[in-house]
Amino acid sequence: MPEVRVIDQHGGQLGVMTPGQAIAIARERGADLVEIVPTANPPVCKIINFGKFKYELAKKDKIQKKHQHVSLLKELRFHSNTDTHDFDFKARHAHRFLSEGHKVKATVVFKGREITYKEKGEELLGRLVERLSDVSKVDQPAHMEGRSMIVILAPERKKKPEPKAEPTPAAATATKPQDVH
* Strand, helix or coil for residue 114: helix
Range name among 9-13, 14-18, 68-72, 128-132 with the lowest pLDDT average: 68-72
CA dist 110 and 107 (Å) reads: 10
CA dist 35 and 106 (Å) reads: 53
pLDDT at residue 86 in the model: 94
pLDDT at residue 127 in the model: 93
CA dist 35 and 44 (Å) reads: 6
Q: How many domains does the chain have?
A: 2
State which amino acid sits at residue 173: T
Would the pLDDT of 1 be above 80? Answer: no
Residue 160 lies in a domain: no
Residue-wise pLDDT for 19-45, tens only, equals 999 999 999 988 999 898 999 999 999
Q: Which of 66, 97, 114 is the last residue of a domain?
A: 66
Host domain of residue 138: 73-155
Residue-wise pLDDT for 84-142, tens only, equals 999 999 999 999 999 988 999 999 999 999 889 899 999 999 999 999 989 999 989 99
pLDDT at residue 174 in the model: 55
Same domain, 18 and 52: yes
Task: Give Cα 93 distance to the centre of its chain.
Answer: 22
Same domain, 149 and 89: yes
Same domain, 79 and 56: no
Residue 94 lies in a domain: yes
Same domain, 60 and 80: no
Residue 178 lies in a domain: no
**How does DSSP classify residue 115?**
G
Same domain, 38 and 82: no
Which residues have a Cβ under 8 Å from the Cβ of 156 and sit 6 or more positions away?
A: 98, 134, 135, 136, 137
Same domain, 77 and 147: yes
118 vs 167 pLDDT, higher one:
118
Edge-to-edge, what's the strand order for the sheet holding 136-145?
Answer: 73-79, 103-109, 148-155, 136-145
CA dist 82 and 118 (Å) reads: 14
Edge-to-edge, what's the strand order for the sheet holding 4-7?
Answer: 13-17, 4-7, 44-48, 32-37
CA nearest 69: which of 104, 103, 101, 94?
A: 101
